[in-house]
Amino acid sequence: MTQEKGDGKEFISHAPGYWPEISQELWNDWKWQLKNRVTSLAQLEQHVELSDEERSGVLLSGDKLALAVTPHFFNLLPDDNPDDPIRRQVIPRIEETWASPYDMADPCGEDSHMPVPGLVHRYPDRVLFLVTDRCASYCRYCTRSRVVSGAGEQELHINFEEAFRYLEEHTEVRDVLLSGGDALIFSDERLDKLLSRLRSIPHIEFVRIGTRVPIFLPQRITPELCAMLAKHHPLWMSVHVNHPRELTTEVKQALERLANAGIPLGNQSVLLAGVNDDLETMKTLVHKLLMCRVRPYYIYQCDLINGSAHLRTSVAKGIEIIEGLRGHTTGYAVPQFVIDAPGGGGKVPINPGYILYHDNEKIVIRNYEGKIFEYPETGNEQVQFAPQREYHDEYLYS
């Protein structure tokens, strides 16, 4: 099934795609989708023509990060193009076995900030709660490939009661982010119980869920799930879309159901070589996200995870993309470009150089058109505001 070549601007349904014999009822059953994920070389080769790099990568994937792709997401893969931006995200490649001097097993330093198993406390007032090591599908650049999927070098040990006790004792924690793995693969009942337990802790003001389930498995976003989540407001959700083709008709409907349940939605993309490392692709993506009622939130520079060098692109490329968005489209469509500082330094915002000069009297700035402006520092009323003075060379090249 060769996919149509397009720019991804339209919302398209690809069902049933590679599964024409499956009834609509089964196709829309999220448990059927999970049960029938593509997880082996033989299944892949039933549908797509693999390159040598992909075939070798699949044979070795069990040593690093398992292969698993839901039928819904698999239908986005063309059968004849190993360089397709969707295939690059979920089909293993031999390059995952190549070592880079910059690679790290735990690039975000989570293990060193884990006071109890499964709970990462790196920022003063918020924690990351790793509630599972399983996902609907596995991204080949996964930051937690060391513990996710059961194939990595570590196991994710979770002690829920110890984590709850820690949260009860640490009253400075006001924000809990559920991640893993992906919490939305839990049953409604199990997730409801987890959220209720967190909500019973008075100083926790709101809960966030980081998930790719609405994109990998939109069938999971049922009216019943949305009604249950709405009981636990304020509840926020960060989804993960990297390429505009991922936003299918089914995904749009799933995201709208979440938004209709009062859940604010933000998107986190990872900047990936051959996937979204160009301005037009990213602009199409952020515009489609807004149409799905999702606010573009972050673009992440790809973490230095082991075996991800072939997917990493330059920081300069990320700055170039932000430069091409800021001022050229609505501010709601412009995410923050960040680097998660290696070793556990946290998210560092990376911006184009809009500040050209700054002292105790004034700040000199440029806008998206390259025009130069002065703004006086507070308390220095004697400084005259002089927009667009002719000192471009003085500040730009000194």
pLDDT tens by residue, 222-237:
999 999 999 999 999 9
SS3 300: strand
52, 221 contact by CB (below 8 A): no
User: Of these residues, 347, 357, 362, 375, which one is catalytic?
Assistant: 347
CATH class of 111-349: alpha beta
293, 11 contact by CB (below 8 A): no
Integer Cα distance of 192 and 385 in angstroms: 56
64, 306 contact by CB (below 8 A): yes
CA distances to 9, 178, 197 from 225, rounded to whole Å, are 29, 16, 17
139's tokens: 């991204």
Q: What is the pLDDT of residue 385?
A: 47
Integer Cα distance of 376 and 8 in angstroms: 45
Q: What is the pLDDT of residue 6?
A: 60
The yes-or-no answer on residue 226 being catalytic is no
The yes-or-no answer on residue 340 being catalytic is yes
The yes-or-no answer on residue 245 being catalytic is no
Scan for tokens 């829309």, then name that residue.
Answer: 28
Residue 176: strand pairing partners: 127, 207
CA distances to 195, 326, 345 from 164, rounded to whole Å, are 11, 42, 25
The yes-or-no answer on residue 142 being catalytic is yes
The yes-or-no answer on residue 135 being catalytic is yes
User: Of these residues, 108, 142, 292, 302, which one is catalytic?
Assistant: 142
Sheet of 355-358: strand order equals 355-358, 362-366, 372-376
Q: What is the pLDDT of residue 4?
A: 47
What are the domain boundaries of the chain?
Answer: 24-92, 111-349, 355-396
Interstrand relation of 265-271 and 295-301 (parallel, antiparallel or unpaired)? parallel
The alpha carbon dihedral of 382, 386, 390, 392 has a sign of: positive
188, 221 contact by CB (below 8 A): no
SS3 238: strand
User: Of these residues, 123, 166, 297, 391, which one is catalytic?
Assistant: 123
User: Of these residues, 37, 55, 64, 126, which one is catalytic?
Assistant: 126
The yes-or-no answer on residue 298 being catalytic is no
The total number of residues written for the chain in this structure: 398
Nearest to 147 by CA among 133, 159, 136: 133
Integer Cα distance of 245 and 5 in angstroms: 10
Ranges in the chain, pLDDT < 70 = 1-6, 379-398
102's tokens: 């910059």
User: Of these residues, 37, 144, 212, 312, which one is catalytic?
Assistant: 144
Global confidence as pTM: 0.93
The yes-or-no answer on residue 133 being catalytic is no
User: Of these residues, 108, 135, 292, 302, which one is catalytic?
Assistant: 135
